[in-house]
Amino acid sequence: MRVAVAVSGGLDSLLALVLLREQGGDVLALHGRFLDADQSGAALERLCRGLGIPFLELDLRREFEERVIAPFVRSYLAGDTPNPCAACNPGMKFGLLLDAAQERGAGRLATGHYVRLEQGRLLRGKDATKDQSYFLSLVPAERLARALFPLGHMTKAASRAEIARRGLTPPLSRESQEICFVPDGDYRGFLESRGQDLPGPGPVLLADGRELGRHRGLWRHTQGQRKGLGLSWPEPLYVLDKDPARNALIVGPRSELAAWGCTLGQVNRLVPQDQWPATVLVQTRYRQKAKPARAVARGTGLELEFLESQTRPTPGQIAAVYTDQGQVLGGGIIIAGGN
Cα separation, 85 vs 192, whole angstroms = 21
Local structure of residue 169 (DSSP, 8 states):
-
Half-sphere exposure of 1 (CA within 13 A, CB side): 12
Choice among 48, 85, 88, 262 that is catalytic: 88
Q: Count the alpha carbons within 13 Å of 251 in the hemisphere toward its beta carbon.
A: 26
85 has catalytic annotation: no
Helix (H) or strand (E) holding 207: none
**88 belongs to the catalytic site:** yes
Cβ-based neighbours of 255, under 8 Å, separated by 6 or more: none
Identify whether the C-beta of residue 262 lies closer than 8 Å to the C-beta of residue 319. Answer: yes
Of 329, 309, 333, residue with least CA distance to 319: 333
Q: From CA 266, how far away is CA 299, in angstroms rounded?
A: 11
Amino acid symbol at 97? L
Q: Are 105 and 88 in contact (CB under 8 A)?
A: no
Say how far apart CA 323 and CA 124 lie, in whole Å. 10
- Number of Cβ within a 10 Å radius of residue 1: 8
C-alpha to C-alpha distance for 171 and 47, rounded to whole angstroms: 9
Angle (CA) 339-330-2 rounded to 5° is 155
CB neighbour class for 235 (10 Å; exposed up to 12, middle 13-18, buried from 19): exposed
Q: Phi and psi (nearest 5°) for 151? A: -100, 5
Cα 195 to Cα 270: distance, rounded to the nearest angstrom: 39
Q: How far apart are CA 289 and CA 6, in angstroms?
A: 29
Residues catalogued as catalytic: 88, 180
